[in-house]
Amino acid sequence: MVGTYGLLMPIGILTEVYFGLPPALVLIGAMAMTASVIYLGIAFLKMKTLN
């Protein structure tokens, strides 16, 4: 679910370039992608230790 918020980053880049809006969407998207990668790593390590 968190990974879908990562799509705000490219949308934020486009709105920043074309409309001059502040980069809030870019930062939210970057944090969401970082959180999803950390979550994926933790899930992978938990799965690896179970087997």
Domain ranges of the chain: 2-50
- pTM, 2 dp: 0.78
Put residue 20 in one of left, alpha, beta given phi > 0 → left and psi -120 to 50 → alpha: left
Rounded Cα distance between 19 and 2, Å, is 26
pLDDT of res. 1 = 64
Reported as a single tens digit per residue, the pLDDT across 7-43 is: 899 999 999 999 999 999 999 999 999 999 999 999 9
pLDDT of res. 19 = 94
Whether residue 11 contacts residue 30, with contact meaning beta carbons closer than 8 Å, is answered with: no
3-state secondary structure of 27: helix
